[in-house]
Amino acid sequence: MTDTATLVRLMTWLSPTFPVGGFNYSHGLEQAVARGLVTTRASLEDWIGSLLRHGSAWNDAVLLAEAWRVATAGGDLSEVSELAEALAGSAERHLETVNQGVAFLAASRAWPLPVHEKLGEGAAWPVAVGAVAGAAGIALQPTLAAFLHAFAANQVQAALRLMPIGQASGVAVMAALESQIRTVAAHAEQSGLDDLGSSAINAEIAAINHETLNSRIFRT
């Protein structure tokens, strides 16, 4: 695919308007705000940056890259899909990755590809995106960058609903995260499954404890 065609398709697939229901999920951020772990623009930037560099977003990038390589080679995606589900650290994280993956596969059938039949109706979110992008001939690094950007943008959108930071601050956070998104995408492009691993402990605990909140906006 040409660079312009790649850009347009990735913008469509990873747009907030693509029907995967991303607005339903805060990835544990709602609990973090409730506990006072994320209260300012700076702490929001640190929170998202930590997830990108050494948290769940990093693991998702590694899994996406592996799924992309397997799909490009026409291989069996069941193993990486099962691994992605196993790495979801809580019931809500599992709900989030599976629901978005299923929704992405359903919506992306508008671009019919053989990989849709291989995955059936279900796959974890990063596996679904990586497999479909690989099968469509879209290069890995822009796919990773778009995927990580969409993750960060969804976190910022959740924060705008949870915190009094305002849209200008949200844009400033996205601007500050640009270099990290590029760096992590480039690193993940060269990664393998041996590079899986996270150390964002507070984020994992927040995701686990989210279901105990008495009043919630988000499903996770």
> Sorting pLDDT into bands at 50, 70 and 90, what band is 1?
low
Using one digit for the tens of pLDDT, what is the confidence trace for 36-86? 999 999 999 999 999 999 999 999 999 999 999 999 999 999 999 999 999
The per-residue pLDDT for 214 is 86
Is 135 within the bounds of a domain?
Answer: yes
pLDDT in tens, 81-128: 999 999 998 999 999 999 999 999 999 999 999 999 888 778 999 999
pTM attached to this predicted model: 0.96
Task: Catalogue the long-range contacts made by 162-168 (C-beta closer than 8 Å, 24 or more residues apart).
Answer: 162/26, 162/29, 162/30, 162/33, 162/217, 163/33, 163/38, 163/39, 163/44, 165/40, 165/41, 165/44
Q: Is residue 188 part of a domain?
A: yes
Domain of 46, in residue numbers:
3-14+21-212
> In this structure, which amino acid lies at residue 99?
N
Q: What is the CATH number of the domain that holds 120?
A: 1.10.4190.10
Asked, for residue 50, whether it belongs to a domain, the answer is yes
Residue 219 lies in a domain: no
91 located within any domain = yes
Asked whether residue 78 is domain-assigned, the answer is yes
The 10s digit of each residue's pLDDT in 174-217 is: 999 999 999 999 999 999 999 999 999 999 999 999 999 988 99
Residue 218 within a domain: no
Tell me what pLDDT residue 135 has: 96
The Cα–Cα gap between 100 and 105 comes to 9
* Count: domains in the chain: 1
Model pLDDT, residue 121: 72
Please check whether residue 49 lies inside any domain of the structure.
yes
Q: What is the pLDDT of residue 118?
A: 85
The string of pLDDT tens digits covering residues 137-186 is 999 999 999 999 999 999 999 999 999 999 999 999 999 999 999 999 99
| Cβ density class 88-123: b for 16+ within 10 Å, e for less | bbbebbbbbbbbbbbbbbeebeeeebebbebbeeeb
